[in-house]
Structure 1
Amino acid sequence: MKEFSILALGGNAVSPMGDPAMTLTFALKALSKKGVNILRESSRYVNPAFPKGSGPDFVNAVALVDSDYKPAELLDILHEVEAECGRVREKRWGPRTLDIDLIDAAGRVFPNLELYLWWSGLPPEKQAEIAPEQLILPHPRIQDRAFVLIPMLEVLPEWKHPVTGQGVAEMLSLLPESDRNEVVRLPNP
């Protein structure tokens, strides 16, 4: 059975495939070759690294995909593609050639609501120090990231957060205007 999922892709370092925009394009093609069908993809956007000052500007995009993979299997495929693009996991929120986050998988809350709420409520200073050892869905930081919500609004404006029920535009409107203004659409190639 097909699983509809939302991916957020980003990078701010040169990879063996080229600059970050070229790397994102390569990643989507690589995912297709691995059985992940790209249904819709956003424009590319540029924005400051997160957290601010942690490296060069990022290029980001969002894609709606489907596959026969279960969420954990899809995450393994995403990590394979990251590795193909030279991703090395050395520093949390540091520069990287490619980062592909699984934002949502068919509206699931995974592994359970209690763990999701714990991770989504983690204070910012703790977010920088620790990362989950297991998949948490929906992504516990989506509501905080204009660089995901803006391209998501382009690709999947009707999506509702499976826990809060908020839509993409509503979550985006709750972010500071300065965060929203930092995400700039790149011209189409």
Structure 2
Amino acid sequence: MKTLPTRIKDVYIIKSKIRTDKRGAFYKTYNENIFKEYNLCTEFKESYYSISKKDVIRGMHFQLPPFDHEKLVYVPKGKIIDVVLDMRKKSQTFGEYVDIELSEKNKLSIYIPKGCAHGFKSLEDNTITVYNVSTAYNPDYDSGVRWDSFGMDWEIDNPIVSNRDKGFKDFAEFRIPF
């Protein structure tokens, strides 16, 4: 397992070690010792997944303090463009984002620290995206910013977006608590 930094501090691409044989493949998405070595969260409180059609955009989501959380995200089936927006006011990359393809083929994961918004665009029907988070979901602290308000070119004309995600404030208008 390799941990690769991105241009946004504390956002890492995790490259899993893959074992294959005549039965198929086996890959590890988490290793406590490696996460500790990079000072990453090692205690996840919830794990869930979404199944998305092609051209679905989900995001840009986060939880507000004190229920903000780290995320570990990967795609065991299908393919997405995963996007992380740095919302930490004191960060050198505040307002910047990174995007990376996560897929069943490349077996990459992304680690997202507190203070960053997260979203993705599904590139294939029936894509499964798995999220491990360090705090339990709390609807009173659940929040987000509009997916189309921070400069990301999603390269899509007619995305499928929930009413909830369409209703978020623009990034420039959001009162940032991080």
Normalising to structure 1: TM-score of the pair? 0.29
Which structure carries more helix by proportion? 1
